[in-house]
Structure 1
Amino acid sequence: MKFRQALLGRSAAAAILAAGLSASSAALAESIVVQGNHRVDSETIRSYFIGGDANEGVKKLYETGYFSDVKISRSGGSLVVHVVENSQQINHVVFVGNSKVKAEDLEKEVRLRSGGAYSDSSAQADVRRIADIYRRAGRSAAKVSYRTVTVPNGTVDVVYDIEEGDKTGVKEIRFSGNQAFSTSKLVGMMETTEMNYLSWLKSSDVYDPDRIAKDAEVIRRYYLKNGYADFHVTGVDATYDPAAGGYVITISVEEGLPYTVSSATVESHLRGVDASALEGDLRIHAGDLYNGDQVDKTIEAMTREVGRLGYAFTNIRPRGDKNPADHTVALAFVAEDGPRVYIERINIHGNSTTRDYVIRREFDIGEGDAYNKTLIDKAEKRLNALGFFKKVKIANEQGSSSDRVVLDVDVEEQSTGSFSISGGYSTTEGFLAEVSVSQSNFLGRGEYIRTAVSVGQYAKGIELNYTEPFFLDQRLAAGFDAYSKVSEASTWQYYNNWVTGGTLRLGIPITDEITFAPRYTGYFSRLTIPNKSNMQYNDCGNTSLYNADNKYIAGSDGNQYTCLTNGEASLALKQAQGNWITSMVGYTLSYNDLDNLRDPHEGFSANIKQDFAGVGGDSKFIRTTGDLRYYHELYFDNVVGIARVQGGNITAWGNDKLRVVDNFNLGNSLVRGFAPGGIGPRDVTDTTSSNAGNALGGTNYYGASLEVQTPIWGIPKDLGLKLAVFADAGTLLGYKGATNFSALTGNNYGCGGTKIPSGSVNGVNQPTTQASCITVGGDNGMIRSSVGVGLIWASPMGPIRFNYAFATSKAKEDVLQQFSFSGGTSF
């Protein structure tokens, strides 16, 4: 029998063990009497009881699945073991009715196996296991039963019949005891959501105790961050309501009152470390609202500092002396000697894809180092933030001695790759589509790689991105970007531009909030101006197309057209035609303390970027830009105010002048309600046709925006819809390029009083060719402004935004665009 074969090893081990036992132990083995066995030999059964607890032996025999009954008794000085063997062997284990959970996932959980012995007790236990799997998958109403089918060879097939039922989700989330923050506010912070008409699209409404525990911790941290030092969650109750078809979750809290910090001090009980040496690490000060996050950051900063000073066995312990009368708390951070405990080992479990070193490098301590709970908690936060794991848990176990501890890191991996097909529309690139493949844990090494191909109405390109987050085994994010993009002429741009290049970059964290990122960028560009039937933007120099006297051509509609009628590219653009190589070094200095990167409600985000072009190549300029955004939640739930200021300057150096395409060309990215390239200096020489595509750009810009975003009442938050109202103001100015292009055209038309050739076109006397000197309009520094509304959809597969803006001040040369739309979806 297979069981006998499977246990031969165990029997042999038992025999060897018995040979080495003392005489008293041997006597014990001889005093074990086995009854009722036919297929399993007595010696094998005895091995489960030699030198161990008899009840434990019974349990282990049951676990083999080969016995339907095991009883023990005493007879004289002997232990009597009476067994009843299962008489049937399993041919196959089959699952019927399952579609939401794969059969291979169920096979991993059940105990009965093909070729093993059948028992009713094991089958019943498997039914409970399968039901639990469905409960964790959000289908608590699933029904599971089993049956056996006898096959001709005397074995049986075990069949598990499954009625999966509907998804059992969270029908309602309630809070009890909350006064400071509304239930809708707290529910909005949770990852768990309530069931609604979008349930077929999401899984966040599935009842998951682990996820709800994480949600409760998020709420606790939120209260502590907002001054409620006494807050705690008193209970989480989940009740399944069959009538409603879902769970009702009730979270009970005790808020307490908000506290203000009356003082924040440092106490050092470490010999040789003065308290003043640690005061610079304080992240919270007198007069501040109590903030649990800042307390944690202070502890982390002080732990690093005392470690740098050589004090490995140190605890930084916060102490709060509360004054309930005036709701203040006096904080003291106490640095003291901790227990001299070392990390003996770090064991990692559950990582089948992610390599061990990817997990270990998130620890600031390693095997052999002093045990430090603060740094271990920090590592757990980092691991959870990677996005590689559904959950991470770090537990301690006693090591080989009292001063040794073993860290057990349990992770549950999740998918980190994606294949995306996107489609959308933007006002600058028209209709567009993109196919991309990305992997944020490439080969389990924690590396990020992405490649994308895009095709649009006016643009197409290919891109490759790679990032190694731990370059040279340091917390440095190194990577590169390679790209090639072609943008074609359109209503807003009278030229084609092909750009191919790449960027080498490095991210150096200065603090948790501040990052310095140097880079090198090099690219080749080719600018051409089309002159085809539907885009005759460069035909004024082609006199063979037109009447030799009046420079016009007769159209098929009977009208007469000059080279200017359908729009002509500015001479500044024509001069920029050709091939160009740009080679530059630069950096970004950024600050970010946003509470949520995808949907911020509180915090600052700021960056300064500077590039120096002229490290080889043809371009020579210094470009500087800055962008600051502040988010603050207003008086109503989930209503967020956003303030933004931005500005930039570009300056040529040496004897070079800026090409028109190097200038800043801005529109709705600075002031909504204006077309792309619709603000600032523009070639307005030709008054007979639109100059929408002849933006010249400027060397300086600045602007400010105020925006309020709010959920739309009555629409579930899962839909991701928000309403926005905004006001923008800004300007673009400072065209420093040439205005006389006589050398390019070979004539002096329109310069110094020289007349431009003209003629009668459709009975109207008008210029019939392009002037050699351009007139620049809109370069007066006037502040443009607008007000408007927007609809934002944070869809699961891509952001989409609609804006409608009305310009409240503009220059006469500006080009408006009241409606704008951008976004797309992935599937």
Structure 2
Amino acid sequence: MTNRQTGRQGLGQFSGILVPAALSLAVALTSVALPETVWAQSYSFSSVSITGNQRVDNATVLGTAGIKAGESMSAGELNAAYQKLQSSGLFETVELVPQGSTLKINVQEYPTINVIAFEGNKRLKDEALAKIVKSESRRVYNPATVEADAQLIADAYAEGGRVNARVTPKVIRRSNNRVDIAFEIKEGAVTEIQRITFTGNKAFSDRRLRQVLQTKQAGILHQFIQRDTFVADRVNLDRQLLTDFYRSRGYPDVQVNGVSSEMTRDRDGFFMTYNISEGQMFKFGKITTVSEVNGLDVSEYAPLSKIRTGAIYSPNAIDLAVTRMEEKARQEGLNFVRVDPRITRNPRTGTLDIQFALVKGPKIFVERIDIEGNTATLDRVIRREFHTVEGDPYNPREIKRSAERIRALGYFSNADVNTKPGTNPDQVIVDVNVTEQPTGSLTFGASYGASAGFGITAALNERNFLGRGQHLAVSIGTTSDNQSSVISFTEPYLFGRDLAATGKVFYTTTSDDNSDYDTERAGIEPSIEFPVSENARLKLRYNLTSERLSGVDDYDADEDTGSSPILSREEGTRWKSAVGYTYTYDTSENNIDPRYSYLFRFDQEFAGLGGDVQAVTTTALGRAQRKVWNDEVTLRAELEGGGIIAASGDTTILDRFTGNNKIRGFESNGIGPRDTAAPNEDALGGKYFAVARLEAQFPLGLPEEYKLGGAVFLDAGSVWGLDDTDGVENVDDGFHLRSAIGVSVLWDSFIGPLRLNFSKAIVKEDYDEEQNFDLTVSTKF
């Protein structure tokens, strides 16, 4: 029995008595007219008597019925007046009785709702359900509205995966024409996705395609997996995700023909099957650029396609090429030049020839941009995501990209950007309709690492501070060895440009078990960051820091106790004033082929603008990543290195590089220059470091919904170099290659990302500190 049927049972006692009323009307009409002339006779009432109304006044009753005393009415018009009163929603019953020159109207008003209650609900609280239903206390009761409310409640449970939820409305009469409404709820169990399968897929396995979907299969950990419940609205999103996945990998003709959702016999789960027609895989063939605009030099536009013949087809590559060409045309004042990508298929060779045609588009302008729905976010925060303003030429592709930028802000749960005709044929109006969502968060977290130990963090983040699009962050974290506190504020569009300005105040302390000293840093760091190319950004910063090295025990040769003399003479407090920059090139977001990504980061810091430190520190990181074997295996290679050169004086342990996180398989500060003669064999850090890391991540063959994976890795490198070792014996600061191999278990667990590393050092020095097992996990709650 459906919710609608059960609702009707509960509401049956309040349905209108149309049949009895109609019979009464027929009898009354018959009593004043002959049978053969009943519908032809006219009536004229000198008076109208209304009874039964309490809240609705007589004038409203007459006005609703359309009856005026003294005017003649036919029997058909009298019946129409009855229908108007009955359908007005004001009365439970209506009766019209002509008696001579008087028309008697007897009504019974719908009662007033006294209390709305919810019974049997545990998963959804009363407060949440009260926001869903349309019926309200102290308002007039309406059977249709209550029945619709029952369906709304059932729909809310279905969105949470409880499609078997049943809601029955009960109406309880009270005195003074009042009623109580109770929604009896049987929540039922969560309806899980027990199995997801695919038909028609040849290029990619079921396991790989399941990784694309937002919906997941239920497994032995189904109590902790939040996306294994059946939600009908999620199916369309999953179909689009599958389509985008195939198209970005060279299958432009892919179609997800249908999705079969079959409920199990016990109605506690679903079997889902996606029917896929992959089509043929294509690569890019001949790439050409032509111009249909007089005087346009096509040779300046052809290089902007940046598409290589033989590369796997990707619609993203075409979109980026069109965007680059149209942007160049706009910069040259050619506002109405459009790029039309024309595709020629070559099924025999499996290639697509692309011709980029520069054509003259219609002269249409943006009349205005209307923004609605933003209650907290200022209009200018949304408008700055448009590279088009009122009066500019209309570019559909740019409007689409503006919509994507608005959605990427993360300020809105929904953002629709559409266009409609303007007041003139050559104008359009851009409509932006957004729905706000919370942008602030208070998070608490926990972490564990074999080196760092157990730690807790607390963070307050507001990504849309005061609706201005600014980011305010406050975080406090501590482990057994380290403590840190950071306050930062970012204005992402300084002076209305893509120029992010950040101010940061920080305080950190460290106390490493492998080193006989403590460090303390406090400072400020203002910075600005801006794009320099499609995938590259440049960050400029200034840093003013107070640094302190303490906890160094004085060396006593006679007692053979204390720290290295090198650390003893570096102990103390100093000020550091430095400027620096970071250049980052990252293709992970905009890469044409999603199987590849590249990252390059180059960082330099120049200390010496006052303060006690004069040095230049340089670091660089290069990373290449590729997915192979139907995207199931990820290969990653990294090369990282750095050096510091002191312009005046020697470096200290506060400047030099330590072995922390450089090479897996070794303890924190477990490698690098060391005073082997000191009682504690203190690690001293080095002026230089270089490391290469190779890693392959792969599935373990378990169901994808468990989110378990494996990895193997090889790290090799070294930390070396000191300025001054005079007077200190047995200090080893030479370049000694270290390397380690290992295997990892990766688990995107319900408490956070977890990684277990099992490693073995292959090449090491006798004094190095190994770490054969490492566990890291972090979570937010």
| TM-score, normalised by the number of residues in structure 2 | 0.84
- Per-residue deviation at 1:705? 1.2
Given residue 297 of structure 2, which amino acid in structure 1 is its aligned partner? D
- Per-residue deviation at 1:656? 2.4
Deviates more, 1:380-389 or 1:240-249: 240-249
Q: Deviations over 1:159-183 (max 9, x none)?
A: 2222222223433323222111112
Task: Report the counterpart of residue 670 of structure 1 in structure 2.
Answer: 662
- Per-residue deviation at 1:61? 9.1
Please provide the CA RMSD for this pair.
3.2
| 1:806 has 2:760 as partner | yes
Q: How many angstroms apart in 1 are the aligned matches of 2:327 and 2:85?
A: 53
| 1:818 has 2:772 as partner | yes
Do the aligned partners of 2:674 and 2:683 also contact (CA within 8 Å) in 1? yes
Do the aligned partners of 2:218 and 2:225 also contact (CA within 8 Å) in 1? no
Do the aligned partners of 1:171 and 1:245 also contact (CA within 8 Å) in 2? no
* Residue 66 (structure 1) aligned to one of 68, 90, 95: 90
Task: Report the counterpart of residue 611 of structure 1 in structure 2.
Answer: 605
- Per-residue deviation at 1:270? 3.0
| 1:775 has 2:703 as partner | no
- Per-residue deviation at 1:36? 9.4
Q: How many angstroms apart in 2 are the aligned matches of 1:726 and 1:35?
A: 93
Deviates more, 1:417-426 or 1:395-404: 395-404
Deviates more, 1:240-249 or 1:271-280: 240-249
| 1:682 has 2:674 as partner | yes
| 1:696 has 2:718 as partner | no
Do the aligned partners of 2:554 and 2:565 also contact (CA within 8 Å) in 1? no
1:158–1:406 Cα change, 3 Å? farther
Given residue 724 of structure 1, which amino acid in structure 2 is its aligned partner? A
Q: Deviations over 1:548-596 (max 9, x none)?
A: xxx4xxxxxxxxxx243xxx31111111111111111111111111259
* Residue 492 (structure 2) aligned to one of 464, 469, 472: 469
- Per-residue deviation at 1:141? 1.0
Task: Report the counterpart of residue 586 of structure 1 in structure 2.
Answer: 580
Q: Equivalences for 1:217-228 in 2 at 5 Å?
A: 217-228=240-251
Q: Deviations over 1:723-775 (max 9, x none)?
A: 2111111122222x2222xxxxxxxxxxxxxxxxxxxxxxxxxxxxxxx4333
1:445–1:661 Cα change, 3 Å? same
1:673–1:203 Cα change, 3 Å? closer
- Per-residue deviation at 1:137? 2.9
* Residue 191 (structure 1) aligned to one of 203, 214, 218: 214
Do the aligned partners of 2:377 and 2:468 also contact (CA within 8 Å) in 1? yes
| 1:633 has 2:634 as partner | no
Task: Report the counterpart of residue 230 of structure 2 in structure 1.
Answer: 207
* Residue 734 (structure 1) aligned to one of 714, 721, 736: 721
1:442–1:304 Cα change, 3 Å? same
Task: Report the counterpart of residue 659 of structure 1 in structure 2.
Answer: 652
Do the aligned partners of 2:365 and 2:393 also contact (CA within 8 Å) in 1? yes
1:117–1:575 Cα change, 3 Å? same
1:204–1:62 Cα change, 3 Å? farther
* Residue 325 (structure 1) aligned to one of 348, 354, 362: 348
* Residue 42 (structure 1) aligned to one of 44, 48, 62: 62
- Per-residue deviation at 1:685? 2.6
Q: How many angstroms apart in 1 are the aligned matches of 2:457 and 2:672?
A: 32
Do the aligned partners of 1:221 and 1:293 also contact (CA within 8 Å) in 2? no
Q: How many angstroms apart in 2 are the aligned matches of 1:318 and 1:35?
A: 77
- Per-residue deviation at 1:605? 1.7
Do the aligned partners of 2:555 and 2:564 also contact (CA within 8 Å) in 1? no
Given residue 584 of structure 1, which amino acid in structure 2 is its aligned partner? A
- Tell me the secondary structure at the aligned position of residue 448 of structure 1: strand
- Per-residue deviation at 1:233? 2.6
Q: Deviations over 1:205-235 (max 9, x none)?
A: 2333443323322222222221112223333
- Per-residue deviation at 1:197? 3.7
Q: How many angstroms apart in 2 are the aligned matches of 1:621 and 1:361?
A: 40
- Tell me the secondary structure at the aligned position of residue 134 of structure 1: helix
Task: Report the counterpart of residue 792 of structure 1 in structure 2.
Answer: 746
1:448–1:238 Cα change, 3 Å? farther
Q: Deviations over 1:611-648 (max 9, x none)?
A: 11111111111111111111111216522111111111
Task: Report the counterpart of residue 389 of structure 2 in structure 1.
Answer: 366
Q: How many angstroms apart in 2 are the aligned matches of 1:508 and 1:83?
A: 76
Do the aligned partners of 1:398 and 1:406 also contact (CA within 8 Å) in 2? yes
| 1:646 has 2:640 as partner | yes
Do the aligned partners of 2:451 and 2:774 also contact (CA within 8 Å) in 1? no
| 1:711 has 2:735 as partner | no
Do the aligned partners of 1:806 and 1:818 also contact (CA within 8 Å) in 2? yes
Task: Report the counterpart of residue 10 of structure 1 in structure 2.
Answer: none
| 1:724 has 2:711 as partner | yes
Q: How many angstroms apart in 2 are the aligned matches of 1:467 and 1:59?
A: 64
Q: Deviations over 1:87-144 (max 9, x none)?
A: 3232233333333334444444434333333232332222223222322232211101
- Tell me the secondary structure at the aligned position of residue 451 of structure 1: strand
- Per-residue deviation at 1:515? 0.9
Q: Could you tell me the percent identity over the aligned residues? A: 31
How many residues are aligned here? 707
Q: How many angstroms apart in 2 are the aligned matches of 1:209 and 1:346?
A: 34
Q: Deviations over 1:248-267 (max 9, x none)?
A: 33332221111121211222
Given residue 90 of structure 2, which amino acid in structure 1 is its aligned partner? Y
- Tell me the secondary structure at the aligned position of residue 218 of structure 1: helix
- Tell me the secondary structure at the aligned position of residue 325 of structure 2: helix
Task: Report the counterpart of residue 205 of structure 2 in structure 1.
Answer: 182
* Residue 540 (structure 1) aligned to one of 551, 556, 576: 556
Do the aligned partners of 2:481 and 2:513 also contact (CA within 8 Å) in 1? no
- Tell me the secondary structure at the aligned position of residue 397 of structure 2: helix
1:340–1:170 Cα change, 3 Å? farther
1:130–1:349 Cα change, 3 Å? farther
- Per-residue deviation at 1:86? 4.6
1:647–1:675 Cα change, 3 Å? same
Do the aligned partners of 1:96 and 1:161 also contact (CA within 8 Å) in 2? yes
Given residue 699 of structure 2, which amino acid in structure 1 is its aligned partner? P
Q: Deviations over 1:344-395 (max 9, x none)?
A: 4434444444333322322222344333221122122223322333343323
1:612–1:131 Cα change, 3 Å? same
| 1:153 has 2:176 as partner | yes
1:684–1:496 Cα change, 3 Å? same
1:279–1:817 Cα change, 3 Å? same
Q: How many angstroms apart in 2 are the aligned matches of 1:228 and 1:353?
A: 42
Do the aligned partners of 2:201 and 2:276 also contact (CA within 8 Å) in 1? yes
* Residue 504 (structure 1) aligned to one of 526, 535, 557: 526
| 1:620 has 2:614 as partner | yes
Given residue 680 of structure 1, which amino acid in structure 2 is its aligned partner? G
Q: How many angstroms apart in 2 are the aligned matches of 1:124 and 1:573?
A: 79
Given residue 517 of structure 1, which amino acid in structure 2 is its aligned partner? K
Given residue 141 of structure 1, which amino acid in structure 2 is its aligned partner? N
Given residue 509 of structure 1, which amino acid in structure 2 is its aligned partner? P
Task: Report the counterpart of residue 274 of structure 2 in structure 1.
Answer: 251
Q: Equivalences for 1:101-120 in 2 at 5 Å?
A: 101-120=124-143
- Per-residue deviation at 1:812? 3.2
Do the aligned partners of 2:65 and 2:82 also contact (CA within 8 Å) in 1? no
| 1:513 has 2:535 as partner | yes
Given residue 684 of structure 2, which amino acid in structure 1 is its aligned partner? L
Given residue 744 of structure 2, which amino acid in structure 1 is its aligned partner? G
The gaps in structure 1 that reach 5 residues or longer are 1-33, 48-53, 72-81, 531-536, 542-550, 552-561, 741-771
Deviates more, 1:677-686 or 1:34-43: 34-43
1:294–1:774 Cα change, 3 Å? same
